[in-house]
Amino acid sequence: MSDTKASRSAADDGARLLVYGAYGYTGRLIVEAAVERGHEPIVAGRNRQKARGVASSLGLQARCFTVEDAAGHLGDVDAVLNCAGPFSETADALVDACIETGTHYLDITGELAVFERISRLGSAAADAGVTLLPGVGFDVVPTDCLAAHLHRRLPEATHLSLAIEADGGISPGTLKTALSDLGSGGAVRRDGQLRHEAVGARTRVVDFGDGFRRAVSIPWGDVSTAYHTTGIPNIDVYLSLPTNARRAVALSSSLSGVLDTDAVKRALSWLVDRSIEGPDEATRAGGEARVWGEARTDDERVVSRLRTPETYELTVETALRCAEKVLAGDAAAGYETPAGAFGPDFVLEIPGVERVDLVDGEVVDRETDESEADEGETAADETAAGE
Ligand SMILES: NC(=O)c1ccc[n+]([C@@H]2O[C@H](COP(=O)([O-])OP(=O)(O)OC[C@H]3O[C@@H](n4cnc5c(N)ncnc54)[C@H](OP(=O)(O)O)[C@@H]3O)[C@@H](O)[C@H]2O)c1
């Protein structure tokens, strides 16, 4: 990183944040919250009219460029927060431009392949004095912090399982990202290596704190990031779904060859743009997400859980806090995960997050004051066929 950028960043004095994809559903929420916190981010994206529209409504500067041309537009920028997904289409070029120009890079991806590719650029980024911190949203801050916390509780753990359950709606960009990823299938980590398999190939029954739910395996980013954060060599991630959605996952796996064709993806994206809007303010304010995690050895097992605000609300908070910490010089140069950079307790800084620790089904620790009776966890955990 150039001297000017490095010294300005470390002092957090006039450090400049650029939000790319700032006029998308999530990008706009992040920019609005940044302004409320006293920042003046640059509103950027590939569409001049849309970027100017958001910038002028908030009194901010707009910048228009494609990801391929990014290097020419980052000379005076200290950190880029990329909100333009699918990140499989934007992250590589923006990360390259950030390393070239000595600019820190953050994004809100949850895409496994994107994490894997960015992690390989860690030493180039370290040489350039640049932090690469993808996954600063709901994917993967809470799960990554829970993974690090479970590893702290059981350092010799050989297996890690994580599961997610979320209320509320979904934005068009998230749905398009999920669609674009469907053809890639699912993945778990075994003996330190990625193993590809169908989405939903495994199921588990999980108690998120208010009764048991059946969850299916998904290729969440943690299959990459939790390994980087903890070194635990065997990792599965599950998503709790209602029955009809579980059937859809099974169907999508059998259709994955069809869904992988560009023409079908383009048609579905077009449809999503016209038929889906992101969750409104009331849905975001009233929603909640729950995360469950288990670390184990052959003869020991620990379980912890998190309750968090609704996923987009949490994403706005965690993304901005990560950007502020990176701009303040609190993250090392090179590739970082959220918990790797800021520790397992980072997620507890977010208002409304609660963490509970269990041993043998009994709650042994609770990390916020918002206590409600907790019935603990009984023996209904169930490992899928194939384990
Ligand atoms: N980590 C998390 O928990 C989390 C939370 C929320 C969202 N997300 C992810 O964030 C992404 C955005 O979600 P959203 O709800 O904000 O979607 P959205 O409303 O559709 O916005 C997407 C934004 O990305 C831009 N974009 C897409 N492809 C681009 C490309 N090739 N080059 C330049 N810009 C491009 C779009 O610009 P144009 O209008 O010019 O196409 C738009 O500004 C999705 O991938 C979603 O899965 C993650």
40 and 130, same structural domain? yes
Q: What is the pLDDT of residue 270?
A: 52
Alpha-carbon distance of 125 to 120, in angstroms, equals: 10
Total of domains in the chain: 2
Q: How confident is the model at residue 252 (pLDDT cuts 50, 70, 90)?
A: low
Best residue among 141, 171, 239, 268 to mutate for probing ligand 1's pocket (most ligand atoms within 8 Å of CB) is 171
The neighbouring-strand residues paired with 366 are 356
Q: What is the pLDDT of residue 199?
A: 78
Q: Give the closest residue to 142 by CA, choosing from 308, 343, 364.
A: 308
276 and 127, same structural domain? no
125 and 72, same structural domain? yes
Q: Give the closest residue to 163 by CA, choosing from 245, 122, 86, 220.
A: 220
Q: How confident is the model at residue 15 (pLDDT cuts 50, 70, 90)?
A: confident
Best residue among 23, 25, 26 to mutate for probing ligand 1's pocket (most ligand atoms within 8 Å of CB) is 26
pLDDT tens digits, one per residue of 218-230 = 888 999 999 999 9
Residue with tokens 């509780």: 153
Q: What is the pLDDT of residue 34?
A: 97
Asked whether residue 228 is assigned to any structural domain, the reply reads: yes
Q: What is the pLDDT of residue 322?
A: 98
pLDDT tens digits, one per residue of 169-182 = 555 566 556 656 65
231 and 352, same structural domain? yes
Pick from 123-132, 147-156, 236-245: least confident: 236-245
Give me 4's structure tokens: 């000017």
Asked whether residue 373 is assigned to any structural domain, the reply reads: no
147 and 111, same structural domain? no
Cα angle 142, 131, 336 (rounded to 5 degrees) comes to 40
Whether 136 and 322 have beta carbons less than 8 Å apart is answered as yes
What's the CA-to-centroid distance between 172 and ligand 1, angstroms?
Answer: 8
Give residue 332's domain range. Answer: 3-137+313-342
Q: What is the pLDDT of residue 223?
A: 96
What's the CATH code of the domain at 55? 3.40.50.720
264 and 335, same structural domain? no
Q: What is the pLDDT of residue 171?
A: 59
79 and 47, same structural domain? yes
Q: What is the pLDDT of residue 375?
A: 37
Atom of ligand 1 at shortest distance to CA of 27?
16
Does position 272 have pLDDT exceeding 90, yes or no?
no
Asked whether residue 278 is assigned to any structural domain, the reply reads: yes
Find the residues whose C-beta lies inside 6 A of ligand 1. Answer: 21, 23-27, 45-47, 50, 67, 83-87, 89-90, 108, 110, 137-139, 171-174, 177, 278, 311-312, 315
Asked whether residue 355 is assigned to any structural domain, the reply reads: yes
What's the CA-to-centroid distance between 84 and ligand 1, angstroms?
Answer: 4
333 and 225, same structural domain? no
127 and 207, same structural domain? no
Asked whether residue 380 is assigned to any structural domain, the reply reads: no
What's the CA-to-centroid distance between 176 and ligand 1, angstroms?
Answer: 9
Asked whether residue 289 is assigned to any structural domain, the reply reads: yes
Dihedral sign for Cα 342, 347, 348, 350, please: positive
